Structure 1
């Protein structure tokens, strides 16, 4: 650790790791402030992981992420509130310590001007500014411009995550999938660039990581899902090197493309963790696109391709399995079911799997030249530990109305809710109008009147130029958007590839995030 004291009671440091925090405590610091956004670099511990490590070490913690592009409005005040509320001395960190130093200076300046207004109230507060939060906000404001609405989102970056499969496949650039969050906040919405620490649903309030409290009449919770890289032993230390990659990271997907491009022989492993995960087809999409490129280059016979799935089937909706199995056989990929990745040694290029063998479980080591890893996924820590969580840790909702099972003025959608649908962007596109209608109805003294049928879509990229377009709802019911004569979703289709490659990105940026509900107008169970 390279700790630099800025003032008495405040110091800065480059990137810290969970193992550093007991040492920080021994050096008499009593709180940590993380000023580095999650996902900036492979192997970087998440803010959630650091918050837990701080708690374990007896340290206070606050998360005020500052983009490399600089401090934005409100962050100096958030830093000021954190410094006032946390026990000192305080140690702040970012990549190098520079952002923490700058933010401290601005917070000190703000303190000399006056204290911040830490309590605000809104008609509707949305937790999460990803696809679900922005789409829900846009749909609400399309219907009622008079409501006061705030979006709480710490990140300055917004990602079109369905595009990362295509980045890993060499089709899109990673830059194509990123935009500034500030450009996407709907007109009429306030952006609070912070993160939530706790919920107080009995009082219709929540507390931010900087100590500010926000009140609401209606709460919509959609912070996404936690990618638990740390759950696989050795994975954070080797991600992005030693042949270890994942299309589940913005900065990692280009490494997938490079590995596949350079590979001419050896063993390639592709993994899928236990459900739930976002886009359950993405683990095998990476495999199909890789195999297609190796096939075109004439090197596929020299590569041992293995798919290790913690589940027991290739895909959860049986109607799509025959078409997928044709590609498994064509690419000579070996299927390993009930095989869960638990550890990885990047330097030795060894992956360890736990495999079920009858009633017992055995550990198997597999050598690799390349491995595409999908991390285990859970509800975010601040959701799992909150009164909003159900048995699974996700926000407990009615699967049709997406209304909380206990608190009538709370709704949830996207990856963080407990509804048993596929966690995909297509699901969010259908859920957002349902939540918008229901939230406004309840806000006006009515009941939830719109229903979600569990629709989700998974465009399975079986080769470059063809896709098996899986569309289904609750219980695996097929819910195709197009007639069979145009697109038979159970068979590979070039038109489905056109959807994925050309049509869906602008539908996302200019339709879904703008409140344009093309083909997803909500159905109501009773008159509004």
Structure 2
């Protein structure tokens, strides 16, 4: 039976909250280890998206349908799919409450809720997304619109924003800026348009090793990079984007900049879902799941994986692969009565598409150290990372990551180092 629905009981050995990349990968790993129907996946959505593919949809290279699968087709046959939403966590009782009123108890829990896109944190944005000129690659509802806007804009400001919160796939807002410029230039309207990348950060990209290359690319494309700009409002009547200016500590300085737009691409603010951020026992002061290294700091039977954690890594699908490797070791140890000892290495990766045919394959740790896998200088834009982004990575995701069989490229990297094919990069 491919799909098992909740009527097998209300208590489970392991409850995985979230059926995205991290939740699906975690549930598959432990469904193979634990007795049949002792692992439950709580996920309300019927569709599962390969979200990194939305960047390619926005550029016209893929469709939303190519990045979509039915959730029921991905659930492990030994797992139970509870198609509902958690509205409250009670970790002291080993219990979660569902939207339909049911209560589910567990021996162990993995939080893999991902993040919530907070369109509501920008005044006027939810309504603006339904108007011409405003779009976002972060939603399956809008990424197709991005390509339409890029292929129809003829003049004015094309603005691409980065929020003043943590965000999943921090490279995505500038990817669309780069290839968007390429598309508009190829149509012959570049001299009539002004491309602006408005970021809340003090610089274009957070990892120093790739910063100079990206600065050079932005300069070569005549992209106006405006740092410490946080989008706070959209006036669709007058087509004005309103930005709060930030000081050197990225704190609002009281000044507002209003910029007219013809095209406005949103990198949305993100947070954990309401039920997570409202559970103070599980989260830090900003509402992110408080872990060390992937265990809850307060509950030994609660683990986490993916974007909902307060680990310092970039929130990417590639990071999830390393999360799952650590989670597998630590939760397996606890299930065997041992102490968890595995440490997440901080690995994250972001293939930064910089044109319609090239990309920079950034691989790094939170401290800025490169963790590159190939023998090439990955700070240089090349063709093969673009093709990896378009073809190889979707394959790895659907065939291996969501099935809990991809733990990232660490083993490949180690082998290449042993063979002397990789330099030691600091």
Common fold by TM > 0.5: yes
Q: Where does residue 160 of structure 2 map in the other structure?
A: 270
* 1:360 aligns to 2:253 (yes or no): yes
1:346 positional shift:
1.4
**Does the CA contact (< 8 Å) of 1:124 and 1:147 recur in 2?**
no
- How far apart are the structure 1 equivalents of 2:40 and 2:410? 24
* 1:490 aligns to 2:368 (yes or no): no
- Unpaired runs of 5+ residues, structure 2, are 412-426
* 1:397 aligns to 2:291 (yes or no): yes
- How far apart are the structure 2 equivalents of 1:301 and 1:467? 24
- Unpaired runs of 5+ residues, structure 1, are 1-71, 78-115, 523-528
**Does the CA contact (< 8 Å) of 1:167 and 1:253 recur in 2?**
yes
* 1:464 aligns to 2:353 (yes or no): no
Secondary structure of the 1:341 match is strand
* 1:473 aligns to 2:362 (yes or no): no
Q: Where does residue 295 of structure 1 map in the other structure?
A: 185
In the TM superposition, 1:24-35 aligns within 5 A as none
- How far apart are the structure 2 equivalents of 1:272 and 1:384? 22
* 1:435 aligns to 2:327 (yes or no): yes
Match of 2:10 among 105, 120, 124: 120
1:216 positional shift:
0.9
Match of 1:308 among 190, 193, 198: 198
Higher relative contact order (CA 8 A, sep 6+): 2
- How far apart are the structure 1 equivalents of 2:217 and 2:334? 48
Cα 1:192–1:147 change in 2 (3 A) is: closer
1:247 positional shift:
0.5
**Does the CA contact (< 8 Å) of 1:300 and 1:331 recur in 2?**
no
- How far apart are the structure 2 equivalents of 1:198 and 1:448? 27
Q: Where does residue 220 of structure 1 map in the other structure?
A: 110
**Does the CA contact (< 8 Å) of 1:218 and 1:410 recur in 2?**
yes
1:433 positional shift:
2.4
**Does the CA contact (< 8 Å) of 1:423 and 1:456 recur in 2?**
yes
1:520 positional shift:
4.9
TM-score of the pair, normalised by structure 2: 0.91
* 1:253 aligns to 2:143 (yes or no): yes
- How far apart are the structure 2 equivalents of 1:511 and 1:151? 18
Deviation string 1:437-462 (CA, Å, 9 cap, x unpaired) is 21121122111132211111011000
Deviation string 1:279-330 (CA, Å, 9 cap, x unpaired) is 1111101100100112222321221111110111110101101111121111
1:187 positional shift:
2.1
Question: Which structure is larger by alpha-carbon Rg, 1 or 2?
Answer: 1
* 1:190 aligns to 2:83 (yes or no): no
What is the alpha-carbon root mean square deviation over aligned residues? 1.9
1:140 positional shift:
2.2
Cα 1:144–1:449 change in 2 (3 A) is: farther
Deviation string 1:124-149 (CA, Å, 9 cap, x unpaired) is 10000011100111122344556710
- How far apart are the structure 1 equivalents of 2:370 and 2:173? 21
Deviation string 1:142-176 (CA, Å, 9 cap, x unpaired) is 44556710000000010000000111111111111
Q: Where does residue 335 of structure 1 map in the other structure?
A: 225
1:470 positional shift:
0.7
- How far apart are the structure 2 equivalents of 1:145 and 1:502? 36
**Does the CA contact (< 8 Å) of 2:23 and 2:112 recur in 1?**
yes
* Count of aligned residue pairs for this structure pair: 405
**Does the CA contact (< 8 Å) of 2:36 and 2:79 recur in 1?**
no
**Does the CA contact (< 8 Å) of 1:136 and 1:433 recur in 2?**
no
- How far apart are the structure 2 equivalents of 1:186 and 1:505? 19
TM-score of the pair, normalised by structure 1: 0.74
